[in-house]
Amino acid sequence: MSILVTGGAGYIGSHTVVELLNIGEEIIIIDNFSNSKPSTLESIKEIAKKEIRFYEGDYTNKETLEKIFEENKDITAVINFAGYKSVGESVQKPLEYYTNNISGALILLKTMQKYNIKKFIFSSSATVYGEPERIPLTEECKTGGTTNPYGTTKLYIEQILKDLYKSDNSWDIAILRYFNPVGAHESGKIGEEPQGIPNNLMPYIVRVAGGQLEQLSIFGNDYNTKDGTGVRDYIHVVDLAKGHLKALEKLNKEKSGLYIYNLGTGTGYSVLEMVKAFEKATGQKVPYKIAPRREGDIATCYSNPEKAQRELNWKAEKTLEEMCKDSWNYWKF
Ligand code: NAD
Ligand code: UD1
């Protein structure tokens, strides 16, 4: 029995593969390294001390996928991490985003259908909630109103999965809505590597602390939050990775179903709190200035993670200090 992981060389995929290998799962990865590098695969093997089967290729290519399913008759489930994820870039290149994310998911699902493999875990995002109906966000909160093509791809794929399940309820699907993944594996061997100047807060903080960037711009201090800066639900990537193991366990236990879970900690931290926590955890200074609000940003976004706790027996365990330390530790290596 093995699990096919698309995008397994990426940030969240690589951490999830390590955790899956640690519990004895056999893993097959397909990745085209559009946003990752081959050495990550070596690091995964080093950390887990296990082998993986790897295909370099594009998951939007039907022939490549068919070859994988033909050559690996033991695949029982698929976790789909592959896709593009930059919000800003998606506004510039909507067709690339819709093609890679939505066509990719469709081709993958059609190929799974052909080979009668119906267990599927999908990387969704808190971005599907748009402007939050209420805080903390539960899975029942309304979705929609996404403000960029990236977010819309997640929303559409969720809808495609719901329609697919409605048409054939022998599918077994978990939609995982990630909040803000940060941190890295404690070994410092795998982590997040944004190309160019990072858009997200933690990678930016790390580069300022390391002297690669001069100072952090805090996008707005006049939000209706505890200190005026944006509040988010940061979650350690290893906790997030473990959420996938629990989701897989659920799919293996149930004959079929479509399940949606928030994967977050349930705690919101402001940008200023993040800066302070990072400085405290690492001893590094993070110079910052207050800048105008970033277009499309919301004031506050954090989860109610109780459903995942109740139904998956999963709970984020790592502290904010660990998130900061591990992010820094990875950068230093
Ligand atoms: P990532 O870019 O690090 O990983 C994605 C991986 O997929 C990369 O290794 C990339 O090379 C690969 N890939 C992309 N297109 C491909 C294709 N056509 N064929 C084969 N491989 C391809 O991103 P991540 O942060 O690990 O995110 C994983 C998933 O989780 C994505 O779908 C992302 O949208 C979603 N997500 C991420 C976040 C976040 O903040 N990181 C939050 C919510 C949801
Ligand atoms: C971003 C994405 C969202 C994705 C989420 C999860 C945008 C608009 N949205 O959201 O689609 O699901 O990541 O990874 O990019 N901040 C600064 N200075 C910076 C960077 C960020 O002040 O240089 C602030 C932001 O205004 C926000 C907080 O830090 O208040 C977190 O920002 P970020 O890491 O980009 O995450 P999200 O805004 O939640």
Calculate how far, in angstroms, residue 325's C-alpha sits from the geometric centre of ligand 2. 20
Which numbered ligand comes closest to the C-alpha of 233? 2
* 137 phi, psi to nearest 5 deg: -80, 125
175: left (phi over 0), alpha (psi -120 to 50) or beta: beta
Measure the CA–CA gap between 40 and 16, rounded to whole angstroms: 13
Calculate how far, in angstroms, residue 289's C-alpha sits from the geometric centre of ligand 2. 16
In total, the chain counts a number of residues equal to 333
Which numbered atom of ligand 1 lies nearest the CA of 104?
Answer: 18
pLDDT at residue number 332: 79
pLDDT at residue number 196: 87
Calculate how far, in angstroms, residue 289's C-alpha sits from the geometric centre of ligand 1. 30
Task: For ligand 2, atom 6, name the residue with the nearest CA.
Answer: 180
Which numbered atom of ligand 1 lies nearest the CA of 33?
Answer: 11
pLDDT at residue number 331: 87
Calculate how far, in angstroms, residue 82's C-alpha sits from the geometric centre of ligand 1. 5
Peptide bond preceding 132 in cis form (omega within 30 of 0): no
- Residues classed as catalytic: 150
* 62 phi, psi to nearest 5 deg: -60, -45
Calculate how far, in angstroms, residue 230's C-alpha sits from the geometric centre of ligand 2. 9
Question: Which sign does the torsion angle of CA 23, 8, 196, 93 carry?
Answer: negative
* 327 phi, psi to nearest 5 deg: -65, -45
Q: What residue ranges of the chain have pLDDT lower than 70? A: 333
pLDDT at residue number 177: 98
Q: Are 74 and 1 within 8 A, CB to CB?
A: yes
151 in contact with ligand 1, CB cutoff 6 A: no
Mutation test residue for ligand 1: of 123, 124, 234, the one with most atoms within 8 Å of CB: 123
pLDDT at residue number 8: 98
pTM of the model: 0.98
Characterize 89-121 residue by residue with b for buried, 16 or more Cβ atoms within 10 angstroms of its Cβ, and e for exposed. bbeeeeeebbebbbebbebbbebbeeeebbbbb
Strands 75-80 and 53-56: unpaired
Q: Are 106 and 59 within 8 A, CB to CB?
A: no
Measure the CA–CA gap between 22 and 27, rounded to whole angstroms: 11
Measure the CA–CA gap between 35 and 193, rounded to whole angstroms: 8
Mutation test residue for ligand 2: of 92, 201, 293, the one with most atoms within 8 Å of CB: 201
**Cβ-Cβ contacts under 8 Å for 263 (sequence gap 6 or more):** 176, 177, 178, 179, 235, 239, 240, 243, 303, 305, 308, 314, 316
Measure the CA–CA gap between 162 and 126, rounded to whole angstroms: 17
Residue 76: Cβ within 10 Å count: 16
Q: Which of 109, 79, 83 is nearest to 96 (CA)?
A: 83
Q: Are 44 and 21 within 8 A, CB to CB?
A: yes
Q: Are 119 and 172 within 8 A, CB to CB?
A: yes
Q: Pull the structure tokens for residue 196.
A: 């160019």
82 in contact with ligand 1, CB cutoff 6 A: yes
Mutation test residue for ligand 1: of 33, 35, 161, the one with most atoms within 8 Å of CB: 35
Cα separation of the two ends of the chain: 35
81 in contact with ligand 1, CB cutoff 6 A: yes
**Cβ-Cβ contacts under 8 Å for 210 (sequence gap 6 or more):** 284, 331, 332
Alpha helices in the chain (DSSP H): 11-22, 39-48, 62-71, 87-92, 94-97, 104-114, 149-167, 201-209, 237-253, 271-282, 306-312, 320-332
Ligand 2 pocket, Cβ-based, cut-off 6 angstroms? 87, 125-127, 151, 180, 199-201, 204, 216-219, 230, 232, 271, 294, 296-297, 301
Calculate how far, in angstroms, residue 219's C-alpha sits from the geometric centre of ligand 2. 9
